[in-house]
Structure 1
Amino acid sequence: MNNVVLIGRLTKDPELRYIPNTGTPVATFTLAIDRDYTKKDGSKDTDFIPIEVMGKSAEFCANYISKGRLVAIQGSIRVDRYQTQSGENRTFTKVSARNVQALDSNRSKSENPYVESHPGSQPSFEPSFEPNQGLDPNGFQAIDDDDIPF
């Protein structure tokens, strides 16, 4: 079984290209994922995992996720083998993603000092969660009506 699930942040905006003759969209990007242990000096190592997405998911990535966004990826590990012009055999390991899900909103990008904001971006809607008069803490309004049969 070859199944991988990753959660990390994009290191740069996805690059979208189309396969010649078929027109299939392909997006590539890299996820930065901190390892789950801390070294003696308090720092963590980070892995940079190359991701490839095909089809409608590739177009979603190119249009809706950008550098710094937290995403979840589900897919499989692929190992490509090739030979350089000098005759050396090389391998390249990547994740071929089947599902991509953005885990944070665009709003959190503007709060992240490590991510540059894109000019012309639309302000995001922020709902108010202040309690309203006449509502209980769960947001329901009490009805005082004797005609209710229960």
Structure 2
Amino acid sequence: MNSVVLVGRLTKDPELRYMPGTGTAVATFTIAIDRDYKKKDGTKETDFIPIEVIGKAAEFCANYITKGRLVAIQGRIKVDRYQTQAGENRSFTKVSSGSVQALDYKNTNQQEDINPSFEPTPGLDPNGFQAIDDDDIPF
């Protein structure tokens, strides 16, 4: 079974092209994924995974997904083999996908925060309940 699910951020805007003959949309981009462990110096390593999206999902990527956006990719690992003009055999590994999901919201206003911080209403405790003075309770 060849199935992969990745979550990462785009390193640049997707490039859209159409296959000659069939006219099928193909978007290509790279996502950055931090490894889940830290090195001795406390830094994390990042993997850069090339992605190829085909069909309607490719047009979605070109129109709505931009550099820095967090996305989930579901697809399969694909190895393309080719020969250079010098006769050397080469291979290129990428993830081929037909399913892409944006996991964050596009920030339309530079001043606007994507995840606004919560500020409690005056007179309320952090959990949203009004403080009650125990001396006013009859029991």
Q: 1:73 to 1:37 in 2, by over 3 A?
A: same
Separation in structure 2 between the aligned mates of residue 109 and residue 90 of structure 1, nearest angstrom: 44
Correspondence for 1:88: 88
Q: 1:89 to 1:80 in 2, by over 3 A?
A: same
**Deviation >2 Å, runs of 4+:** 107-111
Correspondence for 2:44: 44
1:66 equivalenced with 2:66 (yes/no) = yes
Stretches of structure 2 that go unaligned for 5 or more consecutive residues are 122-127, 129-139
Separation in structure 2 between the aligned mates of residue 60 and residue 86 of structure 1, nearest angstrom: 38
Deviation at 1:109, TM superposition (A): 8.8
Q: 1:49 to 1:108 in 2, by over 3 A?
A: farther
Q: 1:2 to 1:14 in 2, by over 3 A?
A: same
Deviation at 1:49, TM superposition (A): 0.3
Deviation at 1:45, TM superposition (A): 0.6
Correspondence for 2:134: none
Separation in structure 2 between the aligned mates of residue 107 and residue 6 of structure 1, nearest angstrom: 22
Separation in structure 1 between the aligned mates of residue 50 and residue 41 of structure 2, nearest angstrom: 28
Secondary structure at 2:16's aligned position in 1? strand
Correspondence for 2:104: 104
Correspondence for 1:21: 21
Separation in structure 1 between the aligned mates of residue 36 and residue 57 of structure 2, nearest angstrom: 28
Q: Deviations over 1:1-36 (max 9, x none)?
A: 000000000000000000111111000000000011
Correspondence for 1:143: none
Secondary structure at 2:58's aligned position in 1? helix
Deviation at 1:75, TM superposition (A): 0.2
In the alignment, residue 32 of structure 2 is paired with which amino acid? A
Tell me if the contact between 2:84 and 2:90 (Cα under 8 Å) persists in the aligned partners.
yes
Count of aligned pairs between the two proteins? 120
Stretches of structure 1 that go unaligned for 5 or more consecutive residues are 112-122, 132-136, 138-150
Tell me if the contact between 1:31 and 1:50 (Cα under 8 Å) persists in the aligned partners.
yes
